[in-house]
Amino acid sequence: MAKKRFRRIIDLAMVVLLISSLAAGHALAGSFDDGGLLRLINRWETLPKDYVPEEMILPEVDTNKAGQKESIYMVPCAAAALEEMFSAAEEDGYILLAVSGYRSYSTQSLLFKNKVDSVGSRETAQKTVAPPGASEHQSGLAMDVVSTNFRYLNRDFLNTPEGKWVARNCCYFGFIVRYRDGWTKVTGCNPEPWHIRYIGVEHSVAVTRLDIPYETYAAKARTLPEYVLSWGTSELFYGLVGDMLRGDETNAEELRRAEEMDEDIRWETLDRITALYDSWE
């Protein structure tokens, strides 16, 4: 797919994100704090037992089974992005199906207990089923997807045309494939090519281009000021986080210093440093 088409998809997705986020009372994109789109959720950084997203809706997409409709709630911005992604997949000849969206702490507790009972140990169980509080599904920002040609939550989904399409294109709608081959030591989870997590388009494109686990990305990105996280571009995050991973904090530190200055200087600094990394066109 050409870069110009990717750019149009990103522009559309950003409009969807802006409208739905404002309507729902959510921050635009940039917070790692409670309820933020970028919040890291895993076995080491968990959600509290009583955490429930402020607002959720049912995305207008098909499900794997008729009875799963009530299991695919998401926060509004993620739901809107999922609808756009499913529509784009269909235009390319692939029919995606939703399986599981929001999942409560208590539901996750039951699933995890059943898995522990099945495999005999907590350590083994949590590689395939997140412990309660450690599931991204509780945030309302995650969805498990399959297709009409492959209806199983199985790692072979990656080898299907639909699975390859998701891996290649979901980032242009704000999602990342959260658990990939070779990342288990970092994420704590075995590969799950069917599990996608919404973090907003500009960050998802950067994470995918960097080809790193979200834990690795978050470790660097969360040190950036909120104004950068909310209004930066995918090119900025790709270049800036890449530099930080290589040990070069020069531009990141300048953005941090600008946070303490007046608004005009802050935005001028963001524009200038963004231009250093702008290679899209």
Contact 270, 227 (CB under 8 A): yes
Torsion angle in degrees (nearest 10) through CA of 172, 135, 148, 85: -20
Say if residue 151 is in the same domain as residue 256: no
Could you tell me if 190 and 239 lie in one domain?
Answer: no
* Domain of residue 227, residue span: 223-281
Residues with active-site annotation: 192
pLDDT given for residue 34 in this prediction:
83
Distance, CA of 165 to chain centre: 16
For residues 237 and 277, state if they share a domain.
yes
Same domain assignment for residues 173 and 37 = yes
90 shares a domain with 227: no
Confidence of residue 35 (pLDDT cuts 50, 70, 90): confident
Looking at the chain, the number of H-run helices and the number of E-run strands are 12, 4
Cα separations in angstroms, 277 against 4, 52, 93, 150, 200: 18, 37, 34, 39, 19
Mean local confidence (pLDDT), 213-236 = 97
Neighbours of 237 (CB within 10 A): 26
Query: According to DSSP H, which parts of 72-200 are helical?
Result: 76-91, 105-119, 122-125, 161-169, 184-187
Residue bearing the bigger pLDDT, 208 or 12: 208
- Is residue 38 classed exposed, middle or buried when 0-12, 13-18 and 19+ CB atoms within 10 A define those classes? buried
Instruction: Judge whether 145 lies within some domain.
Output: yes
Structural domain includes residue 113? no
Residue 108 covered by a domain: no
Helix (H) or strand (E) holding 253: helix 250-258
Distance, C-alpha 253 to centroid of its chain? 26
C-alpha torsion angle, residues 179, 75, 13, 265 (rounded to 10): -90
Higher pLDDT, 83 or 1: 83
59 and 147 in a single domain? The answer is yes
**CA gap 240, 228 in Å, rounded:** 11
Please tell me whether residues 176 and 198 are part of one structural domain.
yes
Average pLDDT of the residues in 242-270: 97
CA distance 183 to 210: 14
Residue type, 33: D
Lowest mean pLDDT among 1-10, 27-36, 69-78, 262-271: 1-10
User: Measured on CA atoms in the order 100, 102, 108, 110, is the torsion positive or negative?
Assistant: negative
* Among candidate residues 193, 212, 231, the one where a domain is terminated: 212
Give the residue-averaged pLDDT of 10-27: 44
Predicted confidence band at 79 (pLDDT cuts at 50, 70, 90)?
Answer: very high
26: Cα within 13 Å, side-chain hemisphere: 33
Q: Is residue 162 domain-shared with residue 200, that is, in the same domain?
A: yes
| Residues 157, 193 contacting (CB under 8 angstroms) | yes
pTM: 0.90
| Residue 54 maps to a domain | yes
Instruction: Examine residue 64 and state whether it is found in any structural domain, yes or no.
Output: yes
pLDDT at 1: 47
DSSP result, 16-31: HHHHHHHHHT--SS--
Distance of CA 27 to the CA centre of its chain: 15
Residue 200 dihedral angles phi and psi, to the nearest 5° = 95, 145
Assess whether 14 and 145 both reside in one domain.
yes
Q: How far apart are CA 106 and CA 232, in angstroms?
A: 36
Residues 173, 230 share a domain: no
Long-range CB pairs of 247-251, under 8 A, 24+ apart, other chains included: 251/276
Number of domains in the chain: 2
Contact 173, 201 (CB under 8 A): yes
d(CA 110, CA 216): 30
- Tell me the pLDDT band of 66, cut-offs 50, 70 and 90: confident
Q: Is residue 116 part of a domain?
A: no
One domain for residues 32 and 10: yes
Contact 164, 135 (CB under 8 A): no
